[in-house]
């Protein structure tokens, strides 16, 4: 069977869409706010339109990549796992090796496609940075009108400075909590790996179900090595507390960000009315959320690379040069693990399908604001569009990404 020392559980599960959904929505809404702020300046309006269209097309391509993840997950459940069961029951290792290699070719293709997406997000982020710089350059040419602004401008600036300071403290708090989460998660994975090294059954589970939630569940249900399982349960409980604290802090952070957006828009409107180009703060936020989606794709690439390696381990250590018929107990454990893997991969496939819908909705409907010339909007219509975007931002659930990484049982 697989050498347990080679099993390295990856912190991944179906919950990745909890971060993907709000980030993709925030990007389109912040683009729309930038469009409303800068649309009266023709050169900047063209630049914004270009970046927004590029983002829309990138989301369409991301949808296609996630659709491949859906298909591969389904193929594992409907094709690979049944063939592994048949090969094990009938003692046909050559057949198992053949299908494992076929599955690995599917995964290589996905890894390459995801890598391309990561690079495209990197390029887009750089382009948005350039656009932000262009806005700032244009802004300098209009700042001679700043002296015409009233005391209202100074009051807004002071309020913005205070909110930005509160936001910085909250963001620092979240980063510190995340450091503790990473530390505890690393300890949890080490504990799971150590348990796998001590129990053959647990090693099998870790080989075919590369989801941290399933591995935690298997450890908690294990009757072997009580000290190791107790450690895993304690670490999971500590992680739950940390994720709860992070969720509270994230919600507070988002509340502050909404207040900042509102005050920045009020200030921007004052400036635009005087022909002054406002700061491109919303574009800077777009970059932040693009980076979050890029990070999700980097993690997804790492996940599939891990799956590729695990399938190779199963092939080399389980089916090459071994006769499972002579190990009936381990054979039964392997078959049970395959059954469990089918459930987990089914859940993962559902999440990938949800991500397809997220990218599809964003690429199809979220950028319809580009069909309107913002410079043609009357004051009432401008305010109506802004109020609509503001409400959508307020309705976003940004704390759902702070759930524990364990797959829901």
Q: pLDDT grade, residue 140 (50/70/90)? A: confident
Structure tokens at 405: 């990484």
| Cα dihedral 201/204/206/210 (nearest 10) | -150
Residues 6+ apart with CB under 8 A from 384: none
Asked whether 44 and 135 are in contact (CB, 8 A), the reply is: yes
Cα–Cα distance measured from residue 397 to residue 19, given in angstroms and rounded to the nearest whole number = 10
SS (H, E, C) the chain: CCCHHHCCCCCCCHHHHHHHHHHHHHHHHHHHHHHHHHCCCHHHHHHHHHHHHHHHHHHHHHHHHHHHHHHHHHHHHHHHHHHHHHHHHCCCHHHHHHHHHHHHHHHHHHHHHHHHHHHHHHHHHHHHHHHHHHHHHHHHCCHHHHHHCCHHHHHHHHHHHHHHHHHHHHHHHHHHHHHHHHHHHHHHHHHHHHHHHHCHHHHHHHHHCCCHHHHHHHHHHCCCCHHHHHHHHHHHHHHHHHHHHHHHHHHHHHHHHHHHHHHHHHHHHHHHHCCCCCCCHHHHHHHHHHHHHHHHHHHHHHHHHHHHHHHHHHHHHHHCCCCHHHCHHHHHHHHHHHHHHHHHHHHHHHHHHHHHHHHHHHHHCCCHHHHCCHHHCCHHHHHHHHHHHHHHHHHCCCCHHHCCCCCCC
Q: Does residue 409 fall inside a structural domain?
A: no
Q: What is the pLDDT of residue 5?
A: 38
Residue 409 has pLDDT above 60, yes or no: no
pLDDT band, very low/low/confident/very high, at 227 (cuts 50, 70, 90) = confident
Q: CA-based Rg of the chain, rounded to a whole angstrom? A: 26
Query: pLDDT digits over 205-215, tens only?
Result: 666 666 766 66
Higher per-residue confidence, 261 vs 15: 261
Measured CA to CA, the distance from residue 108 to residue 248 in angstroms comes to: 39
For residue 75, pLDDT beyond 50: yes
> Cβ atoms within 10 A of the Cβ of 219, count?
27
| The pLDDT of residue 222 | 63
Return mean pLDDT, the chain.
Answer: 81
Q: What is the mean pLDDT of residues 14-41?
A: 85
Listed in sequence order, the residues at least 6 apart from 139 whose beta carbon sits closer than 8 Å to its beta carbon are 276, 277, 278, 279, 280
pLDDT score at 324? 52
Number of domains comprising the chain: 1
Tokens of 320: 């090459």
pLDDT digits (tens, 9 = 90+) for 332-386: 777 777 887 788 788 888 888 999 999 999 988 899 999 888 888 888 888 898 8
Tell whether 180 is covered by a domain: yes
- Residue 195 counted as domain residue: yes
> What was the pLDDT predicted at 336?
77
Domain presence at residue 407: no
Provide the pLDDT for residue 197. Answer: 66
- For the segment 279-293, what is each residue's pLDDT rounded down to a tens digit? 888 888 899 999 999
More confident residue, 266 or 122: 122
pLDDT for 339 equals 80
pLDDT of residue 208: 65
Interatomic CA distance for residues 302 and 226, integer angstroms: 31
The answer for residues whose C-beta is within 8 angstroms of residue 109's C-beta and 6 or more apart is: 68
State the pLDDT confidence band at 200, using cuts at 50, 70 and 90. low
183 or 331: which leads in pLDDT: 183
CB atoms within 10 A of CB 361: 16
In angstroms, the CA 44 to CA 37 distance is 10
Is residue 408 a part of any domain in this protein? no
> In whole angstroms, what is the distance from residue 9 CA to residue 30 CA?
37
CATH of residue 124: 1.20.1170
Q: Of 50, 61, 31, give the one whose Cα is nearest residue 393.
A: 31
Proportion of the chain above pLDDT 70, given as a percent: 80
Domain that holds residue 207: 4-143+151-402
d(CA 184, CA 179): 9
Predicted TM-score (pTM) of the model is 0.81
264 in a structural domain: yes
């Amino acid at each position: 069977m697989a050498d347990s020392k080679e099993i390295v559980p990856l912190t991944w599960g179906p919950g990745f869409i909890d971060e993907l959904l709000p980030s993709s929505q925030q990007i389109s809404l912040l683009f729309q706010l930038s469009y409303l702020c800068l649309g009266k300046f023709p050169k900047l309006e063209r630049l914004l339109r270009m970046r927004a269209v590029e983002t829309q097309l990138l989301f369409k391509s991301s949808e296609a990549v996630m659709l491949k993840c859906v298909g591969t997950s389904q193929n594992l459940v409907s094709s690979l796992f049944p063939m592994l069961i048949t090969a094990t029951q009938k003692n046909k290792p050559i057949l198992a090796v053949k299908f494992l290699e076929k599955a690995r070719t599917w995964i290589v293709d996905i890894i390459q496609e995801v890598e391309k997406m990561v690079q495209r997000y990197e390029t887009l982020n750089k382009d948005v940075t350039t656009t932000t710089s262009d806005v700032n350059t244009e802004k300098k040419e209009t700042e001679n009108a700043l002296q015409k602004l009233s005391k209202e401008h100074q009051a807004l600036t002071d309020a913005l400075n205070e909110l930005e300071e509160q936001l910085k403290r909250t963001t620092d708090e979240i980063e510190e909590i995340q450091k503790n989460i990473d530390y505890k998660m690393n300890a949890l994975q080490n504990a799971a790996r150590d348990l796998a090294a001590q129990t053959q059954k647990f090693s099998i589970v870790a080989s075919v179900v590369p989801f941290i939630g399933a591995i935690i569940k298997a450890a908690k249900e294990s009757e072997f090595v009580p000290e190791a399982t107790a450690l895993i349960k304690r670490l999971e409980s500590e992680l739950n507390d940390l994720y709860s604290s992070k969720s509270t802090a994230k919600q507070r952070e988002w509340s502050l960000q909404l207040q900042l957006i509102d005050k920045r828009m009020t200030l921007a409107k004052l400036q635009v009315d005087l022909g002054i180009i406002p700061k491109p703060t919303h574009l800077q936020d777009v970059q932040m959320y693009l980076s979050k989606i890029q990070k999700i794709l980097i993690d997804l690439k790492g996940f599939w690379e891990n799956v590729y390696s695990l399938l190779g381990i199963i092939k080399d250590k389980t089916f090459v040069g071994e006769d499972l018929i002579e190990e009936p107990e381990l054979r039964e454990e392997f078959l049970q693990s395959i059954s469990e893997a089918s459930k987990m991969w089914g859940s993962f496939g559902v999440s990938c399908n949800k991500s397809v819908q997220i990218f599809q909705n964003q690429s199809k409907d979220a950028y319809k604001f580009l069909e309107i010339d913002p410079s043609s909007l009357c004051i009432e219509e401008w305010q109506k569009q802004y109020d609509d975007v503001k409400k959508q931002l307020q309705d976003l659930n940004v704390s759902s990404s702070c759930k524990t990484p364990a797959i829901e049982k």
